[in-house]
Amino acid sequence: MSQEKIDGQLFSYSGPAFHYLNEEERHFFAKEAPQFRVNVIGCGMIGMEHMRVATRVGRTAIHGVFDTNERSIKVAKEEYAKESSSELVVYSSLEDACNDPAVDGILICTPNYTHLDVLKTVIKSGKHIFMEKPMATKLQDAYEITQMAKDYGAVLQIGLQYRYKSIYAEAIHEVLERKAIGQVKMINLLEHRIPFLDKVGQWNKFNQYSGGTLVEKCCHYFDLMNLFAQSRPVRVHATGSQSTNFRNFEFKGAKSDILDSAFVTVEYENGVRAGFNLCMFAPMFHEEIVICGDEGRVKAAEIEDFSESARLRTEMEVFCGQNRPSKRSEPMYPKLIEDSGHNGATWFEHIAFADRMAGKETDSATMEDGFWSVVVGTAAQEAIRTGKVIDINAMLKEANIPL
């Protein structure tokens, strides 16, 4: 499969129909050389997704990889060979991968608990950096990263790509740009899905490595809450438990302690209230957002239920009563994009990273956005642990983080 950019437009084709043409004979499907080259640190599932998506988008070429796990390197090379005929450089150390003058940027795709230590090495390179979510598993680490980012002379982007999912991109347009529902008052988010998948070392089954489910997985949703609220969170209450998943799971003598279900309520400085409903033992993937304003309501959902029955995969409704026209739609990207990873969100995340490396402003998540998503997730985890409503300012003060 190839993707070509002609006069600012993206064209895609597959199959042998145009393979008879030499490169110099192509015009409509002439290939543009990548603008940037990057190395990937961490070759697990998300690292391979970034390799695949970056290669398909075409603006950034994957130059090389570094990982301490030999099998991950082997599989990454095999998967990369399906996308590109280019040689993949394998580095023997993190320092070598960061300091190669042939590359412009670094993608940090290592386990959550390693992000700060890896970043401390990567940032010395002065190269553009993309770091996967959550930025850290502890508040102090997340704050330290935001301080490192303030004075950094290159791009430092956080991987909160759900902003680019079709349902959320359309909801952002309707709510924040078009102002279709007036002033936002209430936000409700829901994720019902299958359990956490296997990872190298099974780190995502343990709070000490993942930061907890509400930090590891749900920072995406808290980022969306913060974005739609357009305000700082002040109080968080939550209930949750490990009710079903991994209750008898042990790995290298350690017993899993990860949450699989929760209700979270967040109050914001401007009076907006938000709720989040999580279930990680549902036989499906179902995300939903409902935003109520003083002039209308937006609802958007994405569903994948593994059944053979026909049903809508995405849907969105803007209902404004007597205020203005209402409408229903099915937000989507072309299949090529949606199949590349996270229903197309990673595709546009890579476009944003390339744009930022090229000096353009984007709507990608900032380090500050990443910090506040971790703040809400941490507060929710603490609320479940203590059974108390968590005051955000008090929590930050206790962590010696300036308000």
The pLDDT tens digits for 35-81 are 999 999 999 999 999 999 999 999 999 999 999 999 999 999 999 99
| 255 pLDDT more than 50 | yes
CATH number belonging to the domain at 2-161, selected among 3.90.1570.30, 3.40.50.720, 2.60.40.10, 3.10.20.30: 3.40.50.720
Task: Give the pairing of strands 250-251 and 184-192.
Answer: unpaired
DSSP code at position 247: T
Tokens representing residue 21 in the block: 């043409």
Domain ranges of the chain: 2-161, 163-335+365-398
DSSP code at position 384: H
Nearest one of 164, 96, 103 to 128, comparing CA atoms: 103
The pLDDT tens digits for 308-359 are 676 678 999 999 999 999 999 999 999 889 999 999 999 999 999 999 999 9
Task: Give, in order, the Cα–Cα distances in Å from 148 to each of 126, 145, 396.
Answer: 12, 5, 18
In DSSP notation, 43-86 reads -SHHHHHHHHHHHHH-SEEEEEEE-S-HHHHHHHHHHHHTT--S
Integer Cα distance of 104 and 126 in angstroms: 9
Q: Is 344 exposed, middle or buried (0-12, 13-18, 19+ CB in 10 A)?
A: buried
The pLDDT tens digits for 160-219 are 999 999 999 999 999 999 999 999 999 999 999 999 999 999 999 999 999 999 999 999
pTM over 0.85: yes
Give pLDDT, residue 308: 66
- pLDDT-derived band at 231 (thresholds 50, 70, 90) equals very high
Backbone phi, psi, residue 3, to 5°? -125, 130
Q: In what order do the strands lie in the sheet with 60-66?
A: 89-90, 60-66, 36-41, 105-108, 128-132, 156-159
- Write down the architecture of domain 163-335+365-398 according to CATH: 2-Layer Sandwich (3.30)
Give pLDDT, residue 241: 98
List residues bridging with 264 in a β-sheet.
238, 276
Q: Return all residues near 259 (Cβ < 8 A) that are at least 6 apart.
A: 212, 213, 214, 240, 241, 242, 278, 381, 384
- pLDDT-derived band at 403 (thresholds 50, 70, 90) equals confident
Give pLDDT, residue 7: 43
Contact predicate 261/244, CB 8 Å: yes
Instruction: Count CA atoms closer than 13 A to 53's CA, side-chain side.
Output: 27
Task: Give, in order, the Cα–Cα distances in Å from 306 to each of 27, 165, 286, 313.
Answer: 41, 20, 11, 11
Contact predicate 362/348, CB 8 Å: no
List residues bridging with 65 in a β-sheet.
40, 90
Contact predicate 176/338, CB 8 Å: no
Same fold for the domain at 2-161 and the one at 163-335+365-398?
no
Integer Cα distance of 152 and 136 in angstroms: 18
The pLDDT tens digits for 352-400 are 999 999 999 999 999 999 999 999 999 999 999 999 999 999 999 999 9
What 3-state class would DSSP assign to 135? coil
Tokens representing residue 20 in the block: 């008879």
Integer Cα distance of 36 and 267 in angstroms: 42
